Structure 1
Amino acid sequence: MDNATDAATVVDRREGPYGEVVLRRRLVQRTERYEIIENGCFLMDTSDGRSERLLVQAPLRTLDGTGLSVLIGGLGVGFSLAEAAAEPRWGAITVVERERAVIDWHRDGPLGRFSAHALDDPRVTVVAGDLVSHLGEADVTYDALCLDIDNGPDWTVTDSNDSLYSPAGLAGCRARLSPGGVLAVWSAQPSLRFEEALRGAGFEQVQTITVPVARGVPDVVHLGVRPA
């Protein structure tokens, strides 16, 4: 029965400011897999993580130097944070996560091993709040914005996130980047419309990097660079 998959077991269920958020556990081929569900919508699980790691790897291909600052939008299951914490070139790592339950699952729960307990890294600052609000209100710039709060620009988790991918939202992202800084956006599918939106918002070197998945269309990371 090595290929057997257990039914999902609810580890925790919370009512947050944006609705219900659930952490589920499955045993797949004798390996524990955790899933985050919000308002009945599957967001992510711990089965892979390649594209989430790429989200913070790819900007470094463009950026020079050390002591760089990165904002990770969405803690999720922690793959992006773990990748950032493993890279010494990041001197300051800010994580914005709107669901306190997710933060708790990393601090004291079963997701801590997937983020490599990086919340304890002295370079890491956790902001418990809405990413869109933070980008609009923060008086700081970053060398990279690595955003993974939706299933993609064309498939948002909540309606309020739509503004992030609008011309005004992308202009706000551009304003939060240092000259030469990189915007990276995770998506469950490619979006030519979003590529054009990035160019329309003044980003250069726009590209889409694909990561094949077991079934269906590949995950992607959309990239754009603020002109120096």
Structure 2
Amino acid sequence: MIPWETLDTANIPGGSETLRLKRRGTEFSIMLGANELMNSRLSGSEAALARLTIERLAASAPRILIGGLGLGFTLRAALPLLTQAARITVVELVPAVVAWARGPLAALHGDSLDDPRVTIVENDIGAIIGERPAAWDAILLDVDNGPEGLSRKGNDLLYDARGLRAAFTALAPGGVLSVWSSGPNAPFTRRLRQAGFTVEDVAVRAGTTRRGARHVIWLATRPSTSRA
């Protein structure tokens, strides 16, 4: 078997552990300690995050905010589903992840980062969410292994009651907050409803076949008639 090779490491702002970019043949992995955050063989649920969200949008030229670039599967899945008038802002906290996307992971990302509809921002997604009310038609979060701060404790602020209200306010009426997770989390579902969202949670395959592990995507819609 081909051994894993560590290509690079990166510190996470506000975190205590280190990201490692690894390669085994044509397979890539991003690790946090002993936890694998993402793998290039498992793109199904990240692509579903984009597809399920966009299916629920009424706007023909939606303004979409993606938290977490990762291996780029969510962004790549979103682009063919959107008109040329759509705008996507991808916020990545770790500058090295953006550098990897343009370096050793360039073949995975293709030309998605250079699409004229796409803006890449190196920042904390929480800061972007809090900038303006009704700024987005969709907010997609894939910044951790789910609604708990694994890579950095500060990510918990995205998923608590205050963070969810901030996301609610940042969405236009009818907008969708979508959250990727490696598994279910009933308390998080309750917090979404308490924040005013209409909530679906959908189990999707981690990979692109009908076998293997399932991940969870929350699709939380801000009602069209609600107020922040």
- Counterparts of 1:127 and 1:120 in 2: how far apart (Å)? 13
Any conservation in 2 of the 1:94–1:125 contact (CA below 8 Å)?
A: yes
Q: What SS is found at the alignment partner of 2:86?
A: strand
Report which stretch shifted further, 8-17 or 75-84. 8-17
2:153 matches 1:153: no
Give percent identity, aligned residues only: 37
Report which stretch shifted further, 125-134 or 34-43. 34-43
The verdict on how the C-alpha distance between 1:129 and 1:8 changes in structure 2, with shifts beyond 3 A counting, is same
Q: What SS is found at the alignment partner of 2:81?
A: coil
Q: 1:221 aligns with which of 183, 196, 217?
A: 217
Cα drift, residue 175 of structure 1: 0.9
Which letter does structure 2 place at the counterpart of 1:104?
Answer: A
Give the corresponding residue for 1:100. 95
1:1-228 equivalences in 2 (<5 Å): 5-17=1-13, 18=15, 19-27=17-25, 32-89=26-83, 91-107=86-102, 109-138=103-132, 141-154=135-148, 156-204=150-198, 206-213=199-206, 215-216=212-213, 218-228=214-224
What stretches of structure 2 of length at least 5 have no aligned partner? none
Q: TM-score, normalised by structure 2?
A: 0.88
Q: What SS is found at the alignment partner of 1:86?
A: helix
- Counterparts of 2:183 and 2:77 in 1: how far apart (Å)? 22
Q: What SS is found at the alignment partner of 1:149?
A: coil
The verdict on how the C-alpha distance between 1:212 and 1:54 changes in structure 2, with shifts beyond 3 A counting, is closer
Any conservation in 1 of the 2:44–2:205 contact (CA below 8 Å)?
A: no
- Counterparts of 1:57 and 1:132 in 2: how far apart (Å)? 23
Q: Could you say which structure has the greater relative contact order, defined with CA pairs below 8 angstroms and 6 or more residues apart? A: 2
Which letter does structure 2 place at the counterpart of 1:119?
Answer: L
- Counterparts of 2:95 and 2:181 in 1: how far apart (Å)? 23
Any conservation in 2 of the 1:82–1:114 contact (CA below 8 Å)?
A: no
Output the aligned Cα RMSD. 1.8
Cα drift, residue 39 of structure 1: 4.7
